Chain A
Amino acid sequence: MSKVIISLGNDISTDDIYPGRFMATVLPTETPQFAFFDRTEFNAKLKAKAFPAGSIIIGGENFGCGSSREQAASTLKGYDLVVVARSVARIFLQNSINLGLQVVICPALEASEGDELEITATQVLNHTTGKTFEQVQLPASRKGIMAAGGLIPYTRAKLMARA
């Protein structure tokens, strides 16, 4: 069970998650400091390590829309956060899968900051409200990348199979 640390609205862009002015920073070890940088208080709490691994960010529809910047996924992965959203933009979802950031799509989701959620293989249980929500399953192909531990090991295996 994990706590919702922030509940965001629809169309949260990658500019919001990771502002463009920090794009020269690319190393996954360095990107986390800029997560939600312009949400000053939240950024400060993240940096102060106020949230345990597995803590949950709630997004509405179209979470991660906009730029393809991979930093938007690595910055959240750096804190081992989990994203649960009603729907997720394509490139952000793919980047997350590639980097091993857990993203759960849950179209009917209702959850507020402070709620305790349990994420099973197929559902999200909101223990605070007592409600249960169905997940949209990722296509099998994407699950393959996740099972391999991300796109780098997945590609490495393909490369070795060719050699």
Chain B
Amino acid sequence: MGMTVVEKILARAAGLPSVKAGDVVEPRVDLAMSHENAALVINQHREVFEGTGLAPKVWDPSRIAIIFDHRVPAESPKTATNQKKIREFVAANGITKFHDVRGDVGGICHQILPEYGYVRPGSVVVGTDSHTTSHGALGAFAFGIGATEMASVWALGIAVNIEVPATIKVVVNGEFPPMVGAKDLILHVIGKLTAQGANYKVLEYHGGTIQRMSTSGRLAICNMSVEAGATSGIVPGDAETLRYLHEEAGVTETITTVAPDPDAAYVQTLEIDVSSLAPQIACPHMVDNVKPVDQVAGTKVQQIVIGSCTNGRLDDLAIAADMLRGKKVAEGTRMLVFPASSRIFAKALDKGYVHDLMKAGAVVMNSGCGPCLGVHEGALGDHEVALSTTNRNFKGRMGNPTGEVYLCSPAVAAASALTGVITDPRK
């Protein structure tokens, strides 16, 4: 029996000729990513070494990435002190893949990793963040873990007790209609599968639509695969992956990709034709409460958010800038835009997008997670409604348990910013 992409990756990383879903393996880790929660990982890592007589050290500082993004610049003395502690740890351990609060190399972890070429097809990536699934966009097996598990990885260089997940094959074909794209596709998939439909499984994406899709779109899809419960989403590495890594991420060395065997075993196959897909909206308070836009059109919104690790990339900002250029954000609605990385911010400046958005009335914020998790900037007032290109709409997600968050594509967000109500961008 052949292997799926993730089975192949895990077999190689565990030094085994083959593995199958359900096997328990201990793969070596190629990249271990944390953000501000590295503060907790550092504590747990120290505790692992207690009483061993060994000095606490990390297995390989070149394979650890730490990116400050969740609360940048720090919103409180507590966060600032955590960041300070992490900086000291980074320096003491010689960790080079470190992205501090900076306007040149800063950004959201799930944008920084691809952008700087830290992720390769076939690698095993773990991160103390559930949206680590994003990096499957580059053909890696990437999944979220907790802080204690990361402390274990830092000590051992392997992920212990990993059960090889079963894989669902998602085959996507057809051309997207105008104003419909990757975000609508993944919202549609989550609505179909439900929030737990892919629990403990991998979503492996195939089909012509995926082949033609940019890495930016693939990142959005793999990012949100976790919202269907998936351990990981993955697009097997292909020509676009190589193009992105060589041309955009500046990787010079030779890259090899990993493809599934033709006779790989899948637990389920989902076939989707996007040629008649409408813009999709995830309604409060569950990501799988997905409806076509016309069913919620007209809903009044007080806050529009464009950004996050899902949709804060240059092409997302371009859509918003094109739609808002020369126009005004509706009175009574505020629009917050936060580019996913400083590099993207700089490119958006060069292309005039930032100017277009600001002139229309949008507030363009520094790169980072910002309003996405509602701890820092852009919290909602009591009973306010937000329409956001982010990835989660759980109660309280935007900082206020009485607020409501609708999730959508950049096109829907931009069209709605002009009207102040949820608006179909095709109209």
Contact = CB atoms under 8 A, between A and B. Distances in A.
B252 interface: no
Contact of A154 (B40, B78, B160): B160
Contact of A38 (B156, B231, B395): B395
Interface in A114-134: none
Interface string A126-163: 00000000000001111011000011101110111011
A21 B151 contact: no
Contacts of B161: 141-142, 144-145
A155 B394 contact: no
A16 B396 contact: yes
Contacts of B130: 66-68, 91
> Chain A: interface residue count, which band?
35 or more
Contacts of A61: 196
A87 B147 CA distance: 22
Interface string B137-164: 0000000111111011001100011010
Interface in A36-53: 38
Contacts of B343: none
Nearest to B153: A155
Contacts of B163: 139, 141
Interface string B172-184: 0000000000000
B146 A73 contact: yes
A95 B146 contact: yes
B237 to A, nearest CB: 24
B425 interface: no
A62 B78 contact: no
A144 B286 CA distance: 34
B148 A151 contact: yes
A21 B399 contact: yes
Contacts of A144: 161
A156 B396 contact: no
Nearest to B77: A24
B375 interface: yes
B399 A90 contact: no
Contacts of B195: 11, 62, 65
B52 interface: yes
Interface stretch (B43-51, B113-121, B302-310): B43-51
Contact of A70 (B82, B148, B155, B160): B148
B394 A15 contact: yes
Contacts of A99: 148
Given A62-B199, A68-B130, A152-B48, A20 B374 contact: yes
B396 A151 contact: no
Contacts of A23: 36-37, 70, 373, 375
> Considering residues B37, B43, B52, which has the most beta carbons from chain A within 10 angstroms of its beta carbon?
B37
A16 B145 CA distance: 19
Given A26-B82, A141-B161, A87 B196 contact: yes
A65 B229 contact: yes
B401 interface: yes
B46 to A, nearest CB: 10
A142 to B, nearest CB: 6
B79 interface: yes
A155 B160 contact: yes
Interface string A66-85: 11111001000000000000
B278 to A, nearest CB: 25
Contact of A89 (B39, B82, B196): B196
Contacts of A19: 396, 401
Interface string B379-417: 000000000000010111101010000000000000000
> Considering residues B48, B146, B148, B375, which has the most beta carbons from chain A within 10 angstroms of its beta carbon?
B146
A136 to B, nearest CB: 12
A68 B373 contact: no
B76 interface: yes
A95 B130 CA distance: 12
Given A66-B130, A66-B392, A145-B161, A26 B37 contact: yes
Contacts of B151: 151-152, 155
Contacts of A67: 129-130, 373, 392
22 contacts: A13-B392, A16-B394, A16-B396, A20-B397, A21-B375, A23-B36, A23-B373, A24-B76, A24-B82, A24-B375, A26-B39, A65-B196, A66-B392, A68-B145, A70-B146, A73-B146, A89-B196, A151-B151, A152-B48, A152-B151, A156-B51, A163-B52
7 nearest A-B pairs in the assembled complex, by CB-CB distance: A95-B146, A62-B196, A26-B40, A141-B161, A155-B152, A70-B146, A38-B401
Given A67-B373, A152-B47, A152-B151, 14 more contacts: A16-B395, A20-B397, A21-B374, A24-B71, A65-B229, A68-B129, A91-B130, A91-B145, A95-B148, A98-B148, A150-B148, A154-B160, A158-B160, A159-B156
